[in-house]
Amino acid sequence: MKSRIVASLDVTDRNSLIALWERIRKNVFAIKINWPTVLACGKSIISELSKESRVICDFKIADIPNTDKLIMEQIRNEKPFAVIAQAFPGMDSIDSLIENAGEIKIIVVAAMSNPGASKYLNPNFPRIMDDIRERNIYGAVVGGNNIDMLRETSRNKGNLKIFSPGIGVQGGSPVSAILNGSDYIIIGRSLYNSSNPEEYVDKINLDIENALATKK
């Protein structure tokens, strides 16, 4: 079964993280880790998990081009699958990441799933999408709990892969997000706080597979 789940493992205890990762890694598309995990476990956790999984570093990089270059050089040593960056510092910053990424894929935040993003970031998502479609960008982040925005993004995504957070705790439905244009859904708290993460992942994988089969 091809999984469309990116497991967001915001776990700060190394032993707990590894134990959870071992339980689900074969049944998800990728593992996503954020600053809390890296600050607690050290950046070597990236390369450790990357030996057996696609690892997405959700660092939402947002700085001037030279600083972005220095950040990417450090990340590149750990060999993750992809890195997430913010678009709002400008496309010169995104271009710096692309130039220094090596084999690492770049995913750019086009919109966020939290309510506060509706004031500053999300109103600009059409312009962000226009800019990143013109570049060698692998994916865009668009919340799965905003179906109208997800549909609009899907219609104009070009070759971009859409990654959708906002699933579970933030109200988004895995099946609904996929059926409305998401390529991959990002699931965090509702997964890693589940009493049985394996069953949780397997059920979502099956629900998505059945929904897509019915849609055909």
SS3 107: strand
Comparing C-alpha atoms, which of 138, 82, 76 is closest to residue 110? 138
What is the DSSP code (8-state) at residue 62? -
Q: Is 110 within 8 Å of 85 (Cβ atoms)?
A: no
Q: Which of 43, 60, 79, 161 is catalytic?
A: 60
Strand partners, 58: 34
Active site annotation includes 26: no
Comparing C-alpha atoms, which of 85, 56, 80, 76 is closest to residue 184? 56
Amino acid making up residue 125? F
Q: Is 167 within 8 Å of 144 (Cβ atoms)?
A: yes
Locate tokens 């960056």: which residue?
85
Comparing C-alpha atoms, which of 3, 1, 9 is closest to residue 48? 9
Interatomic CA distance for residues 127 and 131, integer angstroms:
6
Interatomic CA distance for residues 134 and 58, integer angstroms:
22
Catalytic residues: 60
